[in-house]
Amino acid sequence: MTAVVPNIHSVRELAERYNTWGKWGADDQLGALNHVTPEKVRASASLVRKGRVFSLALPLDETGPQTGSFGRYNPLHHMLWDGGDIVAGAQDHIQEVRYTDDAAYIVLQSSTQWDALAHIFHDGKMYNGLGPEHVTSRGAAKNGIINTRDRMVGRGVLLDIARWKGKTWLEPGEAIQDTDLEACARAQGVEVGEGDFVLVRTGQIAERRHLGSWGDYAAGPAPGLGISSADFFCPRDVAAVITDTWGAEVQPNETPDVFQPLHIILIVNAGILLGEIWDLEELADDCAEDGVYEFQLVAPPLTITGAVGSPVNPQAIK
């Protein structure tokens, strides 16, 4: 029996099924983050038992994974004033104190990052039915990442798909379906529910560290989420989905006629935020050790007005 290949019609059907435009009003710019209530934030604090904090961010430097694909480059850091300036006497006109200063050029989606709701369009619309005229050369006037500046705190749940499958990492092109997510959660003894931040580990970052090179990590073949994963995330009203890969979705995509179909379903229609290039390795090891796969997640974006994405240094606190 020939397997049915998902296509644009499959994507449109799922997008329509899980569309939330207008659910929280015509002016809403938070999407699924509306599910993260003060009560849920307070409850997430009770998940902190050991006091261990895990940073899930890659270093922001020139050794990152970006190769120029889609115009994205690794961060560039340079010093405005350094120790050499002090030694040379360039600051001798200042009484007593000396200082160093620096600057960085950062493509906002070059490393561990959030996609804003203004990041993806389909059929001329972004989340809540807004058109591209709301994102100009000055940035996003609607659905920008700054709207989430005080909303990225809540219950985090790690679904360690690679470890559940008995693998160190998944292979490029290996798709994670809704049934995988359900079975993994069941095996880990954890439930995914409303307002949760769901972290999905493929192990791809561990693979690249083992190889000693990022290679084609950025935009190349990769394990990742299949479009059926929408049937796991959307009915559960999750706030955000996070992965350790460049683009969250399996590469090549399952849909030969649609690039990044899950971005269309989740971001544009369901209003679910996506996080990408998160380093889940240390956290995953700890979860496997103590059998606890839930924690408080604190991951606010930078407050860059008009930005459609943001670097982030996420903190998983157990």
pLDDT tens-place string over residues 123-155: 999 999 999 999 999 999 999 999 999 999 999
Mean pLDDT of 114-118: 98
Task: For residues 230 and 31, give the distance between their C-alpha atoms in angstroms, rounded to a whole number.
Answer: 15
Model confidence at 2: pLDDT above 60: no
Confidence (pLDDT) at 1? 47
Q: For residue 274, which of 282, 284, 285, 264 has the smallest C-alpha distance? A: 264
Residue range(s) in the chain whose domain bears CATH number 3.50.30.50: 8-65+108-317
**Residues 280, 158 contacting (CB under 8 angstroms):** yes
Mean pLDDT of 284-309: 98
Instruction: Using pLDDT thresholds of 50, 70 and 90, give the confidence band for residue 4.
Output: confident
Instruction: Using pLDDT thresholds of 50, 70 and 90, give the confidence band for residue 3.
Output: low
Q: For residue 68, which of 169, 216, 172 has the smallest C-alpha distance? A: 216
* % of the chain at pLDDT higher than 90: 97
Instruction: Using pLDDT thresholds of 50, 70 and 90, give the confidence band for residue 36.
Output: very high
Mean pLDDT of 181-185: 98
Q: Which fold has domain 8-65+108-317?
A: Glucose Oxidase; domain 1 (3.50.30)
